[in-house]
Structure 1
Amino acid sequence: MNLFAIGDVVGSIGCRFLREKLPAFKKYKGIDLVIANGENSADGNGLTPSSARYLFDSGVDVLTGGNHSFRRKESYELYDTCETLLRPANFPASAPGRGFTVVDMGRIQVGVLNLMGVVYLESMESPYDCADRLLKNAPKITVVDFHAEATGEKRSFAYYLDGKVSAIWGTHTHVQTADDCLLPKSTGYISDLGMTGTIESVLGVKPELTIQKARTKMPVRFDLLQEGPCKMDGCLFGIDEKTGRCLSAERIELT
């Protein structure tokens, strides 16, 4: 099977660009399942019911999240009711929603696990302990979105899960890394998928605002850049349906 993981979708302009590019790319590559990180899909940040519906209607099968998942209170009910909208599984149990789901594709089942790192981010349950617990009865094909800041943490966690999952990718930094590969025990990996949004921006934000913040150290509202050329970053994983092993990992940038 071919699984396409899409980097953080930023704002309405990122959502629109995804809708413009994804259908033809799915057909061209014969993609069976699409997973996108949607925690910044609403303008500002966070996810709203409308941004989630827009992405699902555009061809995304599962939405994952991260530290911005709960920025919009209007989405809390959707996290509880929609089985294909995930937030990190190592959030406290009292948080809305779930961090693991199984997609029934008829001929196969695919597990999707969303976890968050703990280096330079909020204190959470250990992703190692959480993964051990949730992967015990996971399908043969299971993939992981690891929303984390530090590349070292991502790579360490990937080696821990090597051979236990089909693929693991990083999200959060919005900058695509060039280390797409197969790990020694045939788990597909990339440290960060990148982002879907405006190219001439700083992680989707207007550059002049990030410069102002850096120079003055004063509070600045980070408005998104809503015009100009865009890109959709991600990684395409080829997975053996019989063994669950990853056969290929290829980073993608569509402009």
Structure 2
Amino acid sequence: MRLLFLGDVVGRPGRNAVTERLPELRRRWALDCVVVNGENAAGGFGITEAICEEILGAGADAITLGNHSFDQREALVFIERQERLLRPANYPPGTPGRGVALIDTASGARVLVVSVMGRLFMDALDDPFAAAERALSDCPLGEVADAIVVDVHAEATSEKQAMGVFCDGRASLVVGTHTHVPTADHRIMPGGTAYMSDAGMCGDYESVLGMAKEEPLRRFLQKTPGARLEAATGPGSLSGVAVETDPRTGLAVRVAAVRLGPNLDETWPVFWD
């Protein structure tokens, strides 16, 4: 099975990069499942229903969120009816929406998508490891699910790596999001799980984490109240990770970074070309 995960979509440049390039990539690489983190899609803060439908319409099978899940208040309502939009599973009980979804792909395979959020340097939520354990135990790889993708939305690389170790051998891919900077540590772990500490972002890299540079810089220099952060408006790049799995086990056999667009050295899964 061929899986593609795309990192945090930031503002209009990120949305444009996804909607313009994803349909072609699905065809070119014969992708079975695409998961996109969309928590910064609405101007850098949350997601709206219209944007959610736009990303799904471009070819995403599921959209994961994170600490900005409910920055757009309408998400409190439409997340209940959109089963392919996932906020972190370790939000407290009673939070609208869901953190786990079993996706039926066009090829007939079933992909479990799990969203969890870290706790180091983040909002205090329930235990992400316990949430991941419940999801993996309820829907085992190779038995119920043909592939499993775990999005770890976290600040600390150590917490993301620990989640990778925790899920190794039980998930097809464990990938970090949130820091918006693609890491160079994509690999297949000893148990057969593909791992990457951060998929990077889909957005304008001539920025500060996807935001127009002036206000973030001013905040570091002055430490005083100022203007609202605004998403950068330059050309967007696509950033993420591609994985091919063994159809018998659901574990990874190939993994590659994906970076397409300006301001980054381009790379893609050459084993699919």
TM-score interval w.r.t. the shorter chain?
A: over 0.9
The gaps in structure 2 that reach 5 residues or longer are 142-146, 262-273
Deviation (angstroms), 1:44: 4.2
Deviation (angstroms), 1:137: 2.0
| 3-state SS, counterpart of residue 41 of structure 2 | coil
Could you tell me whether the CA contact under 8 Å between 2:186 and 2:196 is conserved in 1? yes
| In 1: Cα distance, 2:164 partner to 2:24 partner | 31
* 2:95 aligned with 1:87: no
| 3-state SS, counterpart of residue 56 of structure 2 | helix
Deviation (angstroms), 1:219: 2.3
Residues 151-199 of structure 1: CA distance to partner in whole angstroms, max 9, x if unpaired? 1111111111101111100000000000000000000000000000112
Question: What corresponds to 2:15 in structure 1?
Answer: 15
| 3-state SS, counterpart of residue 254 of structure 2 | strand
Could you tell me whether the CA contact under 8 Å between 2:188 and 2:195 is conserved in 1? yes
Could you tell me whether the CA contact under 8 Å between 2:64 and 2:115 is conserved in 1? yes
Question: What corresponds to 2:179 in structure 1?
Answer: 173
Deviation (angstroms), 1:139: 4.5
Could you tell me whether the CA contact under 8 Å between 2:163 and 2:174 is conserved in 1? no
| In 1: Cα distance, 2:173 partner to 2:205 partner | 27
Could you tell me whether the CA contact under 8 Å between 1:111 and 1:143 is conserved in 2? yes
Q: Which amino acid aligns with 2:48?
A: T
| In 2: Cα distance, 1:59 partner to 1:143 partner | 17
- Residues 191-210 of structure 1 mapped to structure 2, 5 A cutoff: 191-210=197-216
**TM-score of the two chains, using structure 2 as the length reference:** 0.90
* 2:234 aligned with 1:224: no
Deviation (angstroms), 1:13: 2.2
Q: Which amino acid aligns with 1:225?
A: A
* 2:260 aligned with 1:251: no
Q: Which amino acid aligns with 1:93?
A: P
| In 2: Cα distance, 1:87 partner to 1:44 partner | 16
Question: What corresponds to 1:214 in structure 2?
Answer: 220
| In 1: Cα distance, 2:205 partner to 2:186 partner | 21
| In 2: Cα distance, 1:236 partner to 1:48 partner | 26
Q: Which amino acid aligns with 1:107?
A: G
Could you tell me whether the CA contact under 8 Å between 1:110 and 1:139 is conserved in 2? no
* Percentage of identical aligned residues: 39
Residues 20-40 of structure 1: CA distance to partner in whole angstroms, max 9, x if unpaired? 111112222111111000001
- Residues 1-255 of structure 1 mapped to structure 2, 5 A cutoff: 1-105=1-105, 107-140=108-141, 141-220=147-226, 221-226=228-233, 228-255=234-261
Q: Which amino acid aligns with 1:233?
A: S
**TM-score of the two chains, using structure 1 as the length reference:** 0.97
Residues 99-144 of structure 1: CA distance to partner in whole angstroms, max 9, x if unpaired? 0000112532111000000000011111111111222121422110
| In 2: Cα distance, 1:191 partner to 1:44 partner | 21
Deviation (angstroms), 1:64: 0.1
Count residues with an aligned counterpart: 254
Label 1:44 to 1:130 Cα distance change in 2 as closer, same or farther (>3 A).
closer
Residues 51-96 of structure 1: CA distance to partner in whole angstroms, max 9, x if unpaired? 1111111111100000000111111121111110000000011111
Could you tell me whether the CA contact under 8 Å between 1:113 and 1:144 is conserved in 2? yes
| 3-state SS, counterpart of residue 191 of structure 2 | coil
Residues 224-246 of structure 1: CA distance to partner in whole angstroms, max 9, x if unpaired? 111x2321100001011221111
* Bigger Cα displacement from structure 2, 178-187 vs 27-36: 27-36
| 3-state SS, counterpart of residue 185 of structure 2 | coil
Could you tell me whether the CA contact under 8 Å between 1:180 and 1:189 is conserved in 2? yes
Output the aligned Cα RMSD.
Answer: 1.1
Could you tell me whether the CA contact under 8 Å between 2:13 and 2:235 is conserved in 1? no
| 3-state SS, counterpart of residue 133 of structure 2 | helix
